[in-house]
Chain A
């Protein structure tokens, strides 16, 4: 008799559980089909500058002149570690045969720090995807001498991004 009662209780409990789960199954959405989502995150990098032109107005006696515009550099990257390099070319005079202003006379400052020469490729800023990148302020300086012929000189500064520098 006791055995019978125990079996009956167990059977009743099972009936209640199954009954409730069926009730639940009736209220939820039935899965008809599924969509597989595949997201590919390739390495990306974006380097942008606030100005693509830099000008020096050298009106007085030769010496050190700061560029009239400040360049703001912004880097966005998901690379683990990255670095920014800069290099300048000689500034060529508009007239043929006039010696150029050597690239080593150009220097730059990052976020108001001391000026560094631009004649060779030098890393000046590094970052990683672990920390947020903030805009970098670049100032440029040109040194002129009495030996420099008056006139218009042109050249370029190349700013490059490297992964795992």
Chain B
């Protein structure tokens, strides 16, 4: 009699254990999204449409010269703490003898009013987060009597800064 009850009970218990199997399972998901920046640039010549468009918009008097090339920049970031600056150096002649100091250099963004290149130039700010910024940089030189004629190369650096 005891044996019969035990057998019956053990059958029920083992089947119940299987029936207790979960019917719904949660999988925890974690995504670690890192700060990201995309920066692409290329030199554009005076006959480039982008250059021409910016040049047409640019309003300067005869005391300024525009270099016959510019820079096309594409910038994008997902990080609102990130800022990108353009840091200009002196213009160096192709023979590497003469130079035009950056005090005389101005930067125009998309043909807007030129600003002095003495200070670093803000290209991407927190408000630009998420959007792609396409910009044309023109180099404008304030003519000085001591500037020697010739071809000059612009030197610049992109500076990445994270706001703490």
Q: State the A residues within 8 Å of B (CB).
A: 35-49, 51-62, 65, 71, 76, 88, 91, 101, 106, 140, 142, 144-161
B27 to chain A, nearest CB (A): 5
The segment from B62-70, B76-84, B102-110 that touches chain A is: B76-84
Which single member of A36, A47, A61, A154 contacts B4 (CB below 8 Å)? A36
B19 interface contact, C-beta 8 A: yes
B32 interface contact, C-beta 8 A: yes
Contact B27 A62 (CB under 8 A): no
Binary A-proximity of B1-45 (CB < 8 A = 1, otherwise 0): 001100110011001101101111111111111111010000000
Docked CA distance A153–B34 (Å): 11
* B18, B21, B25, B130 interface centre (most CB from chain A within 10 Å): B25
Chain B interface SS verdict (over half): mixed
In the complex, residue of chain B having the shortest beta-carbon distance to the beta carbon of A63: B36
- CB-CB under 8 A from A161, the residues of chain B are 23-24
Interface size class of B (residues with CB under 8 A): 35 or more
- CB-CB under 8 A from B132, the residues of chain A are 146
Q: State the B residues within 8 Å of A (CB).
A: 3-4, 7-8, 11-12, 15-16, 18-19, 21-36, 38, 76-80, 129-132
Contact B19 A156 (CB under 8 A): no
In the complex, residue of chain A having the shortest beta-carbon distance to the beta carbon of B19: A44
Docked CA distance A52–B26 (Å): 7
Docked CA distance A51–B30 (Å): 13
